[in-house]
């Protein structure tokens, strides 16, 4: 654990994870806790300061979340954001009331006085609130205002308490990252030591402490997360690790061969390859419900690993590439305030009676942190910066029943999409993970519907391919990529001409939220 850290208390904000991500980008370690987490759980972190997130409640409602007493008694700096600002003001004797004019979306604030958090002048910000502070608590000065919020920024410079009515964590607030950096480093005094090298050192120590002298089995899918997790454990445990790669038959075109080549030849990892396509297809026969698919795939993965473990002196530990967004969307108990979005096969889809203890070195890392760690470990650029691919593979992009024929149809369409995006320069990311021109994730989905078409003067009744391409900074929210019409037309033409059984292509123009990036 890093010596300097920030504790973030989540009051139910949809942006809480973004706060954590921005603090980590400032190279300061942080952890996100439910607002009502036990004091000893939070203080065990030995935080240098607290950030209070936004939330949907009103401070005057019965049972509304409140600022825990230990936070105010700590004497540490506090930054309240939106509801967190209102809760802080309310706890210290300020007046909070519903606003007649709500603010949702872009706004401009004017900083009125010198302060260590925001430079004087005008700033574009993102607002999302219905209540506002009428009277700040004693000791607080009004440091900034907006057209609809006379109290948009407050501060008690002596106690180092600050409140922002806007959201600095979202990219719609251009100066937001700098505001958070100033708070955690300049006001809280946290040292910016959360770097790839320090993450690796911390992970190696935790892995060795957990595993000891026992052997470890790693679950490898070929994706970024499982590959980085496996490389970390190999660095920590050496010959105590054996990696198992299960070819489910639900990988993308050429992917199985690539996984073998990278892990065995480039990284020198002992890799056991299991051909299991027929087993997965048999288990999925007749299954169409997305959650049931994920459960079946997750359980069969584990059963296969258990079989391999019996041949490898029954190692007790299983490595998985679970990362923070997996935990959030699956509503893991220790973060339990979020609603379950879907069950990730490596979080919520695991059988209760599995015989392994999980080793998850990436469990609280964001995707961009995982990539930087992968680079520092020496993984190939092509693997580290590849686009995300779900653990259940094409099984959750093949909507409806999963069959060998439908998987191959989807695999060919997906390969065409990715090839054309590659040629257009729209598929890859640069060495820092920034989007080069538009797509952070792009893939094809095979729909369980048929439509009428005309091909070669004959009536057809074939399946439909949906194309999905999104832009995103964090994968917690995303927008659909505005791909050129000419490119979409070329992709569609190739798919209907080259992929048997498809006569229609559609393009998904839905953001996240309300949709998720994946269809299932």
Tell me which residues are annotated as active site: 82, 167, 169
Q: How far apart (Å, rounded) are the C-alpha atoms in residues 269 and 266?
A: 8
Closest CA to 50 of 86, 19, 12: 19
Sequence-distant contacts of 22-27: CB under 8 A, at least 24 apart = 22/168, 22/169, 22/176, 22/177, 22/180, 23/51, 23/180, 23/184, 24/194, 24/366, 24/369, 25/177, 25/368, 26/177, 26/180, 26/181, 26/184, 26/185, 26/192, 27/192, 27/193, 27/194, 27/195
Q: How far apart (Å, rounded) are the C-alpha atoms in residues 347 and 167?
A: 30
Q: How far apart (Å, rounded) are the C-alpha atoms in residues 465 and 490?
A: 14
Query: Under a CB-based contact definition with an 8 Å cutoff, are residues 468 and 517 in contact?
Result: yes
Q: How far apart (Å, rounded) are the C-alpha atoms in residues 211 and 431?
A: 33
- Please give the structure tokens belonging to residue 208: 């060795």
> Who contacts 95 (Cβ-Cβ below 8 Å, separation ≥6)?
89, 133, 134, 135
Burial 307-339 (b: 16+ CB within 10 A, else e): ebbeeeeebebbbbbbbbbbbbbbbbeebebbe
Q: Which residue has the tokens 């379950």?
A: 340
Burial 221-240 (b: 16+ CB within 10 A, else e): bbbbbbbbbbbbbbebbeeb
Closest CA to 164 of 155, 175, 172, 153: 153
- Please give the structure tokens belonging to residue 90: 């309310």
Q: Which residue has the tokens 């973060």?
A: 335
Does residue 457 have a cis peptide bond before it, meaning omega lies within 30 degrees of 0?
no
- Please give the structure tokens belonging to residue 107: 């706004």
State the DSSP code for 265.
I
How do 441-455 and 458-471 pair as beta strands?
antiparallel
Q: Which residue has the tokens 């680079």?
A: 375
Q: How far apart (Å, rounded) are the C-alpha atoms in residues 133 and 80?
A: 12
Does residue 15 have a cis peptide bond before it, meaning omega lies within 30 degrees of 0?
no
Q: In 351-445, which residue ranges form alpha helices assigned H by DSSP? A: 367-377, 381-384, 404-423
Closest CA to 109 of 176, 12, 188: 176
């Amino acid at each position: 654990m890093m010596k300097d850290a920030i504790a973030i208390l989540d009051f139910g904000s949809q942006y809480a994870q973004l706060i954590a991500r921005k603090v980590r980008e400032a190279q300061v370690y942080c952890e996100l806790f439910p607002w009502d987490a036990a004091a000893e759980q939070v203080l065990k972190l030995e935080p240098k300061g607290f950030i209070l997130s936004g939330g949907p409640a009103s401070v005057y409602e019965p049972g509304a979340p409140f600022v825990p007493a230990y936070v105010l008694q700590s004497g540490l700096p506090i930054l309240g954001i939106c509801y967190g600002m209102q809760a802080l003001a309310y706890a210290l004797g300020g007046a909070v009331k519903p606003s007649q004019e709500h603010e949702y979306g872009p706004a401009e604030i004017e900083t009125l006085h010198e302060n260590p958090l925001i430079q004087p002048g005008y700033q574009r910000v993102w607002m999302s609130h219905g209540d506002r502070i009428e009277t700040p608590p004693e000791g607080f000065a009004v440091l900034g205002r907006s057209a609809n919020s006379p109290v948009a920024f407050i501060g008690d410079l002596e106690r180092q308490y600050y409140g922002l009515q806007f959201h600095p964590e979202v990219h719609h607030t251009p100066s937001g990252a700098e505001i958070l950096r100033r708070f955690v480093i300049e006001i809280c005094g946290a040292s910016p030591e959360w770097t790839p090298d320090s993450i690796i050192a911390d992970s190696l120590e935790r892995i060795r402490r957990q595993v000891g002298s026992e052997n470890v089995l790693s679950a490898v899918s070929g994706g970024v997360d499982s590959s980085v997790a496996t490389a970390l454990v190999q660095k920590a445990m050496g010959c105590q690790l054996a990696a198992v790669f299960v070819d489910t038959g639900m990988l993308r075109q050429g992917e199985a061969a690539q996984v073998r080549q990278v892990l065995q030849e480039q990284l020198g990892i002992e890799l056991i390859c299991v051909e299991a396509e027929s087993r997965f297809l048999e288990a999925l026969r007749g299954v169409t419900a997305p959650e049931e698919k994920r459960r079946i795939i997750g359980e069969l993965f584990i059963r296969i690993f258990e079989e391999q473990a019996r041949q490898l002196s029954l190692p007790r530990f299983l490595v998985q590439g679970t990362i923070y967004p997996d935990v959030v969307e699956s509503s893991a108990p220790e973060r339990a305030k979020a609603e379950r979005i879907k069950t990730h096969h490596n979080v919520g889809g695991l059988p209760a009676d599995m015989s392994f203890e999980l080793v998850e070195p990436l469990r609280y890392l964001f995707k961009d942190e995982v990539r930087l760690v992968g680079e520092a470990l020496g993984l190939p650029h092509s693997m580290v910066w590849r686009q995300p691919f779900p653990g259940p593979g094409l099984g959750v992009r093949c909507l409806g029943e999963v069959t060998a024929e439908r998987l191959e149809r989807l695999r060919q369409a997906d390969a065409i999409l990715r090839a054309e995006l590659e040629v257009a320069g729209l598929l890859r990311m640069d060495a820092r993970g920034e989007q080069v021109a538009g797509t952070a994730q792009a893939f094809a989905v095979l729909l369980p519907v048929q439509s009428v078409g005309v091909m070669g003067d004959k009536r057809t009744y074939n399946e439909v391919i949906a194309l999905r391409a999104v832009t995103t900074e964090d994968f917690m929210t995303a927008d659909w990529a505005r791909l050129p019409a000419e490119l979409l037309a070329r992709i569609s033409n190739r798919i209907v001409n080259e992929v048997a059984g498809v006569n229609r292509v559609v393009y998904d123009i839905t953001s996240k939220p309300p949709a998720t990036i994946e269809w299932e």
